[in-house]
Amino acid sequence: MAPFLWAAVFAYAAAGVLLLRERRIRTALTRQNASLTTELRARDGELRHLVSTRLPELADSLRNPAVTVSGPLYERELAGTEYARGLQSVMDMFTESAGRAGERADQSAKTTLRAMMRVVQSLANEQQVAISDMQERHDDPAVLADLLRIDHMNAQLGRRVQATAVLCGSWPGQQRSASALTDVVRGATSRIRDYLRVRLYAQMNMAVVSRAVEPVVLTLAELLDNAARHSQPNTSVEVNFQATHNGVAMMIDDAGVAMGAEELHQAARRLSGQQALDIHRLGDPPQVGFAVAGVLAARYGFTVSVDTQSPYGGVRAVVFLPMDLLTRIPAETGAPGAAPEQPAAREDRAGQTSSGLPKRRRMEVAAAVAPSPEPADRPARPAREIAAGMGAWQRGTRSGRAAPLDSEGKEPRA
């Protein structure tokens, strides 16, 4: 009996041990299973989150920097795993390649646009020359009225094209000679739709150096256009100058509505010219004015700000030109308000122009007259003599007509 009993006890003990071990193993397996399930769920969830949320957000953020990309959902569960690192590198590669593709697309769009604008710009220039020729040729006021309208439209067309070209990284084009501040403002006025509303009472004996004329004109034109478009058609847009110790501030005041804080913030960002310009983000219709002003200001070394309120309630745009973009006023354009000068003084100024200052109309006139006294000394040249005879005859006629004049006054005009 005893051996049977012993065997039974042993068998129970063995079974008990086995059972215990079995339970331990099962518990461990269950736990492992649970943790694997949790991890699997985390991975599934994380992958779904990546596809449905993070990548779309990332794609959005490339277009609009204001969008923030959310982080991983199960950061704690997946920390340090190969899986988490894999997902992160997917994100990184996506960002990088999307960024590169965007840049390439932007560059090629700009290049194409620039080339197209160059063609349109040269056409607009040709057209302007044609219009100017017609204005010279036709003396009929009715024709002139039409030509003035066409000229005005062409000037606006040229400005739009130039602005687009500048946004695509091109040069404003058009070489100009140094021009008086008043002419720069009036040149800008020529290129906007509501040019009759611009009032310029200020005068200043300063000129903009040749290389900065076109950029400053374009900047002012964009600001004037903004001012005119954002104010009532019956109000005026005023331009004033203010000399400062290191330059000149040009102020454009409108009587429209002031800008809100968000608008001001965006305007300041665009006007700084620091922000990389994305032509895809200018809106529809594109808001090019401040962007163009910002690009030109940064490139040519002047500043533009719109953060002051105008005394008329609207916006005051200030273009600050430092001294190195300014020069003395070119001769002939003269101080507009200056006292009338004697002809002798004007001759002196014509002399100055040869030292780099641009317009020399008096010289042209003088050149036309010059042959007349010369041939008297050289009878050997009959052609010159004829010219002399003609010149003398012409002068005689004129002196007869202008009898009460002193000879000094007439001489340079012959």
The sign of the dihedral angle between the CA atoms of 281, 283, 286, 291 is negative
**3-state DSSP call for residue 318?**
strand
CB of 232 to other proteins, least distance (A): 19
Q: How far is the CB of 407 from other proteins (least distance, A)?
A: 10
CB of 333 to other proteins, least distance (A): 7
CB of 355 to other proteins, least distance (A): 19
CB 362 within 8 A of CB 341: no
Chain Cα centroid distance, residue 213? 15
According to DSSP, the β-strands at 206-208 and 326-328 are antiparallel
Question: Which one, 39 or 347, has the nearer CB to other proteins?
Answer: 347
Q: Please, which residue, 19 or 148, has the CB nearer to other proteins?
A: 148
Which residues contact residue 72 at a Cβ distance below 8 angstroms, ignoring those fewer than 6 apart? 46, 49, 50, 54, 78, 84, 87
Task: Compute the least distance from the CB of residue 390 to other proteins, in Å.
Answer: 7
Nearer to other proteins by C-beta: 103 or 133? Answer: 133
Cα dist from 105 to 55, 168, 255, 292, 326, whole Å: 20, 13, 41, 21, 39
C-alpha to C-alpha distance for 353 and 361, rounded to whole angstroms: 10
Of 228, 252, 250, which is closest to residue 238 (Cα–Cα)?
252
CB 131 within 8 A of CB 154: yes
Residue ranges in contact with other proteins by CB under 8 A: 125, 128-129, 132-133, 135-136, 138-145, 147-149, 151-152, 155, 174, 176, 179-180, 182-184, 186-187, 189-191, 195-196, 213, 217, 332-334, 336-337, 340-341, 343, 359, 361, 364-365, 367-368, 382, 385-386, 389-390, 393, 397, 400-402, 405-406, 409-410, 412-413
Q: Smaller CB distance to other proteins: residue 203 or 266?
A: 203
Query: Which secondary-structure segment (H or E) carries 101?
Result: helix 82-137
Q: Which is nearer to other proteins, 322 or 334 (CB)?
A: 334
Neighbours of 310 (CB within 10 A): 21
Range list of H helices, 310-381: 343-353, 361-369
- Least distance to other proteins, CB of residue 318, Å: 22
Least distance in angstroms from the C-beta of 337 to other proteins: 7
CB 236 within 8 A of CB 216: no
Question: Measured from the CB atom, is 51 or 386 closer to other proteins?
Answer: 386
Residue 176 Cβ, how far from other proteins at the closest point, in Å? 6
How far separated are the first and last CA of the chain, in Å rounded?
157
Which CB, 156 or 305, lies closer to other proteins? 156
Token pair 């002068």 in the structure block, residue: 395
Give the count of alpha carbons within 13 A of 262, CB side only. 0
Q: How far is CA 218 from CA 194, 223, 242, in A?
A: 16, 9, 20
Identity at 329, one-letter amino acid code? I
To other proteins, the closest distance from the beta carbon of 386 in angstroms equals 6
